[in-house]
Amino acid sequence: MGRRRVSQALTPRALPRFFVPPAVIEARVLPDDVAHQVQRVLRLGAGDWVCLLDGVGGVYLAQLGDDSQIANLQPAELDTELPASITVLQSLLRPEKAETAIRLCVQGGAAAIHFAPSERSLVRWEPSKQAKYAVRWQKIAQEEAELACRTRLPIVRLTAEWRTAFQSLPRPVFVLDEWEGALALKQRCRRMPMPTALSLVVGPEGGFSPPERAWMAAHPETHAVSLGPRILRTETAAFYALALLATLWE
């Protein structure tokens, strides 16, 4: 099939979008799960266009060929990521609330969403259940990122121990908690240059324990921040913070 120009109306935002491994771009053959979605669910065929994302920033307009082949592949531009790479560490939640947090954080632009049990978490999981949810939640993040027109695939990670998860976070760290000396998030950000990476930390329904607060406060580049006068649910707090940061920096 000869090269066919892409219509000006065909932009990544107007096309079905799929994250695929970079090897797919090189081989120009759709994976089975994507081919099923394209052919059986969306009813697309040879000559139609989709958008393929390699998960690390590459965006491609792909014209379908016969079967699972990609007949034409053209690089495209899509600027939808936040200026700073933001990791969210969320105290472990019940599954339905965790899934809400993942969907909102991906929509808000988070680069990674980590879960770990803090002292007052209502949930404790066995390793087998943790592995099961890790797979499911990564899939949810991928689907949400495709819908949100993200160019980089957010990573979901479950860690068995809170302190291990906290110590691995990119700095600076903003703890969404009202301990003594907490500044409003916007006020804190205006006092510092925009970092290339940062982290948001969200506690459980009952908040962090005093020993947890003291332990986190002792770490460098860790700041307690307030999101304002209203109290948010634990599953929505990170999204609210992401929206504030986008307003400041995007």
The domain segmentation of the chain, as residue ranges, is 12-75, 85-249
Paired tokens of 237: 């707090």
CATH no. for 85-249: 3.40.1280.10
Between the alpha carbon of residue 144 and those of residues 43, 49, 55, 249, the distances in Å are: 21, 20, 13, 23
Instruction: State residue 1's pLDDT score.
Output: 38
Paired tokens of 212: 């947890």
* pLDDT tens track for 138-185: 999 999 999 999 999 999 999 999 999 999 999 999 999 987 779 999
3-state secondary structure at position 108: helix
Is residue 130 pLDDT above 90, yes or no? Answer: no
pTM of the predicted structure, to 2 decimals: 0.93
Paired tokens of 14: 């107007």
Between the alpha carbon of residue 195 and those of residues 151, 173, 192, the distances in Å are: 20, 11, 8
Q: Where are the alpha helices (DSSP H) in 121-192?
A: 127-147, 162-167, 185-190
CATH no. for 12-75: 2.40.240.20
Report the alpha-carbon distance of residue 149 to residue 147 in Å, rounded.
5
Nearest by Cα to 199 from 174, 166, 225, 220: 174
* pLDDT tens track for 13-52: 999 999 999 999 999 999 999 999 999 999 999 999 999 9
